[in-house]
Amino acid sequence: MYKIKISDLPALFDKLSEKYDVFLPVDFDNGAKYKKYEKGDVLSEKLNTVKSPKDFFFPQTEDMMRFKTEGKKIDVIDIREPKDDFIVFGVTECDVKSFEVLDNVFLSEPADTYYAEKRAHGVLISRACSKPSETCFCKTYGIDPSEPSGDISTWKADGTLYLRPNTDKGEAVISVISGILTEADDDEVNKEKEKINKILDRLPLKNLTTEGFGAGKTAELFDRPEWAGLSQSCLGCGTCTFVCPTCQCYDIRDFKTNDGVIRYRCWDSCMYSEFTKMSAGQPRLTQKERFRQRFMHKLVYYPENNGGLYSCVGCGRCLQSCPISMNIVKVMKALGGKNE
């Protein structure tokens, strides 16, 4: 365990940014967003960034390749630039766990090399959640925000930031800043963990359970009458899917240029009317089916295909952002077991 005074954080970021691109959450007028560190940037105190850090590994829009045509000849050009190591600082544990969900999708064979390369170069520095929000429910999925993982874990306590490297990547980062860190014992961190756990017991969603969901529940849940009421006011926008750290659907499109084509991919949303449209049309005809797809995917289909792991981490972003305030918690309470 190492420590540094919070007031010395600028020095830490300055030092890190000599070697790495460092991204950290900074405040804007009404929220926080990840930004590449520049001298003077201040680490946000906010719990959630509006958009999750999945962008670093699975960007909203990403050029994949170019096709250059000359007469009847087509060149396929790999347009990827070599990637340098980069640091994502201040990732909460729910977001760290979201990468497990994404890894299962993108790194299972055949691995998605675009995602894999960024994962290989990215260093995750997590932070414990000293001040969880009423919208937090990571505990529902067995996630412990007082014990963040990632390549380096950090805790804030009493004007001090504590750092603990967990991986070789983390050790390598620590070696860059070791000159400005001091060694520390675990006492303060343990106290902070205790404090956080006491707060977790006071969270309004602490009793939310996944009972009634999970692998094998498709037949039981698919035709439940509640879907109609739950989805009736859904606008069909993509807010929930785009702020979600685990939503992973994308579309691949071709953009025609003067001498060929740029193939790119961009996030897609199961809430959209054009999602997975095929020659026969969109298989989910109304918003009810699209809405159901999202929650069945998170709570039933994904766990079925991934050893029981849910593809929701309880970060609460959708609770904060949905224009009609409909969300996975309301769905779980309406359809699940023992959620009174």
Taking CB atoms within 8 Å and a gap of at least 24, the contacts of 172-181 are 173/16, 173/20, 173/87, 173/123, 173/125, 174/2, 176/15, 176/16, 176/18, 176/19, 176/20, 177/12, 177/15, 177/16, 178/2, 179/15, 180/4, 180/8, 180/11, 180/12, 180/15, 181/2, 181/3, 181/4
Residue 94 · residue 200 · CB < 8 Å: no
Nearer to other proteins, 126 or 269 (CB): 269
Question: What are the Cα distances from residue 320, in Å, to 31, 102, 135, 147, 240?
Answer: 11, 22, 7, 24, 9
283 binds other proteins (CB under 8 A): no
Pairing relationship of beta strands 250-257 and 182-183 according to DSSP bridges: unpaired
Stretch that binds other proteins, among 109-117, 173-181, 182-190, 271-279 (CB under 8 A): 271-279
Pairwise CA distance, residues 46 & 48, whole Å: 6
Pairwise CA distance, residues 23 & 85, whole Å: 12
How far apart are CB 288 and other proteins at their closest, in Å?
A: 12
111 binds other proteins (CB under 8 A): no
50 binds other proteins (CB under 8 A): yes
272 binds other proteins (CB under 8 A): yes
Among 205, 247, 296, 315, binds other proteins (CB under 8 A): 205
Q: Give which of 295, 286, 288, 299 is closest to 240, Cα–Cα.
A: 295
**Tokens standing for residue 267:** 């996030």
Nearer to other proteins, 132 or 170 (CB): 132
209 binds other proteins (CB under 8 A): no
80 binds other proteins (CB under 8 A): no
Q: Give which of 129, 138, 130, 60 is closest to 98, Cα–Cα.
A: 138
204 binds other proteins (CB under 8 A): yes
Nearer to other proteins, 104 or 282 (CB): 282
Binding mask 221-260 toward other proteins (x if CB under 8 A, else -) reads --------x--xx-xxxxx-xxx-------x-x-x-----
How far apart are CB 214 and other proteins at their closest, in Å?
A: 22
329 binds other proteins (CB under 8 A): yes
330 binds other proteins (CB under 8 A): yes
99 binds other proteins (CB under 8 A): no
Stretch that binds other proteins, among 22-30, 111-119, 211-219, 298-306 (CB under 8 A): 22-30
Pairwise CA distance, residues 126 & 69, whole Å: 46
Q: Which residues of the shown chain bind other proteins in the complex (CB under 8 A)? A: 28-31, 33, 46-47, 50-51, 60-61, 131-135, 199, 202-205, 229, 232-233, 235-239, 241-243, 251, 253, 255, 264, 266-269, 272-274, 277, 319-321, 323-327, 329-330, 333
